[in-house]
């Protein structure tokens, strides 16, 4: 396990954690991370990734690529408004993704993610609450039709 909570970390350099191949849990809660790029977490045994209360506004499509053991991801209390369509696709062990308190924009840029969400396993615990546009404020992305997501 690696605990880096409250360290004012602003970025996760690509492959920085590569030497730690046996890590099962990384807690980077309450830092200043703004984005997640490809290969930020090249740890194949990583099961729990805690990124709550950062400043993450951008996640690359392959930010979690190679994390075949991933079970839980916490991205609550960040600044993300969009998610790539298949950012969580293909993770067989994934059971919980916490996305609360982000300024989610439920528009055309979330269509691909909404389609994935609607076809994902019903046992996957994941909710996205819309903050914009105003007509969808407070609504769950799962409850909207893909046709509702316009720009």
Domains of the chain by residue range: 1-151
Taking 70 as the threshold, does the pLDDT of residue 122 lie above it? no
Taking 80 as the threshold, does the pLDDT of residue 44 lie above it? no
Q: When comparing pLDDT for 119 and 56, which is higher? A: 56
State pTM to two decimals.
0.91
Taking 90 as the threshold, does the pLDDT of residue 41 lie above it? no
pLDDT at 123: 66
3-state SS, residue 112: helix
Q: When comparing pLDDT for 115 and 17, which is higher? A: 115
Taking 70 as the threshold, does the pLDDT of residue 45 lie above it? yes
> Where does 1-151 sit in CATH, by number?
3.80.10.10
């Amino acid at each position: 396990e690696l605990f880096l909570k409250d360290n004012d970390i602003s970025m996760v350099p690509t492959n920085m954690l590569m030497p730690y191949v046996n890590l099962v849990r990384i807690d980077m809660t309450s830092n200043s991370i703004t984005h997640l790029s490809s290969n930020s977490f090249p740890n194949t045994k990583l099961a729990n990734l805690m990124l709550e209360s950062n400043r993450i506004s951008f996640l690359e499509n392959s930010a979690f690529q190679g994390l075949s053991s991933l079970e839980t991801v916490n991205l609550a209390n960040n600044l993300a408004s969009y998610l790539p369509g298949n950012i969580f696709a293909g993770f067989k062990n994934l059971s919980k993704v916490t996305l609360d308190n982000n300024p989610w924009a439920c528009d055309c840029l979330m269509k691909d993610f909404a389609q994935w969400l609607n076809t994902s396993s019903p046992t996957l615990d994941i909710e996205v609450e819309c903050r914009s546009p105003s007509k969808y404020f407070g609504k769950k992305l799962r409850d909207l039709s893909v046709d509702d997501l316009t720009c």
